[in-house]
Amino acid sequence: MADGRREPPPYGRDRIRGSLGSNSPYEGGRGGGHPSMRGGYPPHGGPGGAGGGAGASYQTQERRPTWRNPSPGPSESRDAVPSTSAAVSTPAFSTNVHEPPPQPQPSSSGLGNIGRPLHRAAGPRRRPLADTLRTRGPDAPSKHGTTGQPLQLQSNYFKLLKRVDWTLYHYQVEMVPPCASPRLMQSLVNEHKKLLGGFVFDGVQLFTACKLSNDELVLHSQHDRTGDKYELHIQRVAVVDMTDETGIQVLNLILRRAMNGLNLQLVGRNLYDAAAKIPIREYHIELWPGYITSIRQHENEVLVCCEIAHKTMRMQTCYDILRECQRHDRNFKDAFRRAVIGCVVLTGYNNKTYTIHDVTFETTPESTFDTKNGKISFLDYYKNKYNLRIRDSYQPMLLSRAKKKDTRSGDSELMALVPELCQMTGLTDSMRSDFKMMRAMADHTRLNPDRRIERLETFNRRLQTSPESQEVFKVWQMELDRRLVELPGRLLPQEMIFFSTTSNGVQAGENADWTAHFRDNPMFATVRLSRWYLIVPSRCQREAGDFLNCMITAARGMRFEISNCEMVPMPDDSPGTYIRTLDAIINRDPQMIMCVVSNSKSDRYTAIKKKCCVERAIPTQIMVQKTITPKSGNVRTLMSVATKVVIQMNCKLGGVPWKVKIPLNGLMTIGFDVCHDSKDKSKSFGAMVATLDHDNRGTPKFFSTVSHHSSGEEISNYLPLNTVKALNEYRREFGELPKRIIFYRDGVSDGQLQYIYDHEVRSLVEKLGQIYKSAGIEQDVLLTFFIVNKRINTRFFDHRLNPRPGTVVDNVVTLPQRTDFYLVSQSVKQGTVSPTAYNVIYDTSGLKIDHLQMLSYKQCHLYYNWSGTTRVPAVCQYAHKLSFLVGQYLHQTPSNMLEKKLYFL
């Protein structure tokens, strides 16, 4: 969501017409006129379809009534808005005529100034496709590994049985006069479907399976209701190769058109089945099942990926929230704004989603706006157009900024919505913290592999049997396989976990969880804890004392020396009291401070962390009272929690709980991630965490740093500099530079790969080359740069079960232009396990693909907050943890005196 302090887009392309007025009980009577409104266009279809059919129902959009906020007059109250000019809406299917808009005036809504350009280009403009980053050369060594036990797996992909080898012709369409309604544009093109044959039309570009008679054509169409005449100027642009980016995009459009036969609804970007919604009435929410689909050219086949998705819909409208605010808050206006601004709502009459950016109490459904046929109120508009009766005619209106694609197609930048007609979507923070509700949702959303396969096969069957879908496939000569794709995989050997340099190690186990082994083994390296303090509110002293005894017992079993700490009671648990107590303790030079808090309120957590991570450099451990309270009064139930806390505290002091064998000396492994500032979305913080391994037998060292990025700054400005800091730390510790660097970059989407390669990777390689040459090392730096992506839709099944940890897939569903693979590193008890995608975009290491795969799997065993494997390499998880701490709570760079410790665990 855009930051509230940014300059908003201008409001409207509106003509000056009379004024409008209304009574609003929320403002205490007649406070003056109301902001002007503009009527909307009727629903219209999205991109064109197979065989020139009409627009798909799930692509329905509508030009919404829009909002202008004029300047308050000098004699008016702060909340009142005087009479002013109203906007004019052209009727559906007619051209727009504009007069100069009024000068921008200050906004009383908090959205800033008003104003926009007078003219716009006709019709939508399609975003150009970025070329796929090709990082794999034709003479590159094999990307298919051989290590491990062979497996035969299935994946959530279907083959296109008939190879798409037909030619597609690309044309540009311009309409004279310009047309703002995509539905009308689709209708005008459909009039010539006999001439065009099978085609796809997106409002500007036309793709046909048959070559037209001339490269330039002018076709004539007429609106069937108004009689308006249009000329369609069609010009050939290119011939499309169905294996390139444009051809694949057309295939995705055809698939979407075929899915129209399933009667799905488009909510956001994905399609959901509202008829199959799952009500969870106890928590007033509904789950809409749906599908995420995409077609792509993979190693040897064009494959369709299909993933099951769920959309959370609340059985609550914005009007329900308004009534709650009126009942429980004296200043209900501010409470209502806080409750809805930033939320996404669904309007059921056109199945569109909107993000709420502001609320106007000056305008109500009784307010009128001008149309070609005269003034009309919102009450009458929705009654006439959708047969919807608005019950409360005095409710305020919600304001939503239009998406860029909607403004390109003619919508104004601010759209007015009626709270009564807006259904809330998504979950609030309080809902997410309700364990029982999340568990009730998980019963429906976490599908086990067998249920997921069954749902995928049902989707395929519906797609194959729907008459409309069959017609689309027939026109485009496409056929979808009814079976899931089968592919080879491998199971990597189990890793050995070492708790000391002299032990033989223990196997991680089939589920990659070695928690039980801590009962019989010490930690690999510990730091004696002798000076530490326990800050606790007076009412929590008994629980804190019991938990402290459990910690000492657990530490003794792991050979971790913990002296009795000094307990510091406090009269209350306010943030100020914690700060004053910390100030007194920090002057005694403690190794660590543990704080017990009564609940999870963020203000208290933020105050403690800022004091100890920014102003001073003291590792802290914060425990919630509920966590250290024994179940049923049995203190032994706390031993599991105490064991994990003791491990965490040892890491924050510089200790290492365990290791795995990595047969590479002189290795530095780096992880990088970015988190946005929760207070200011224009800012973000990039965190880099490096593991320094000079000798496989020794204890690894850690280095972390955080860089602040303002809007517009390129991350590449900081990433090479931060890497140089890690190199200097490695040289201080071991007297030489690392022989090999493995870099794992998280938080990158496919669309950003080219940017990452051009800016971050190249600048990093250049900087490393300078450092190594200055040290007298002439050979190229042995660098491997991974892009790690865990937000993917690919799933794997092993005989209708989850694949075991260590499963690698590097064929069939991977991409031919990349050196990439999928790795299942975790074991899950519920649902279907999600693999992680690894993409090698730069590699001068000389390591085989087997070595890179095994090294990545080993790294997933080294996250010390959990005695098991993680979805991403440990350095990535550490970087995420650090960037999240800074972006959510600290909002500034931590003290550099903590760089060598995992203080952020």
3-class secondary-structure state, position 836: strand
Q: Where are the alpha helices (H) located in 558-617, listed in sequence order?
A: 575-586, 602-610
Strands 532-537 and 592-597: parallel
**Hey, how many other C-beta atoms are within 10 angstroms of the C-beta on 286?**
19
User: Of the listed 358, 411, 673, 820, which one is catalytic?
Assistant: 673
Tokens of 378: 């919102």
C-alpha distances in Å from residue 59, one per residue of 270, 413, 475, 544, 865: 11, 20, 20, 58, 45
Strands 592-597 and 620-624: parallel
Tokens of 863: 């996250």
Contacts for 458 with CB less than 8 Å, ≥ 6 apart: none
User: Of the listed 406, 746, 810, 850, which one is catalytic?
Assistant: 746
Catalytic status, residue 746: yes
DSSP readout, 650-692? HHHHT-B--EE----SSEEEEEEEEEE-SS-TT-EEEEEEEEE
Tokens of 812: 């069939």
Q: How far, in Å, CA of 687 to CA of 672, rounded? A: 6
The residues facing 621 across adjacent strands are 594
Name which of 161, 83, 883 is nearest 477 in CA terms: 161
Torsion, CA 848, CA 854, CA 860, CA 862, rounded to 10: -100
3-class secondary-structure state, position 90: coil
Helix or strand holding residue 734 (H, E): helix 719-734
Helix or strand holding residue 267 (H, E): strand 265-267
Catalytic status, residue 603: no
Q: What are phi and psi of 736, to 5 degrees?
A: -155, 165
- Residue 150 corresponds to which amino acid? P
3-class secondary-structure state, position 347: strand
Strands 358-360 and 368-371: unpaired
> ω into residue 177 within 30 of 0, thus cis?
yes
Query: What's 17's DSSP letter?
Result: B
Active-site positions read 673, 746
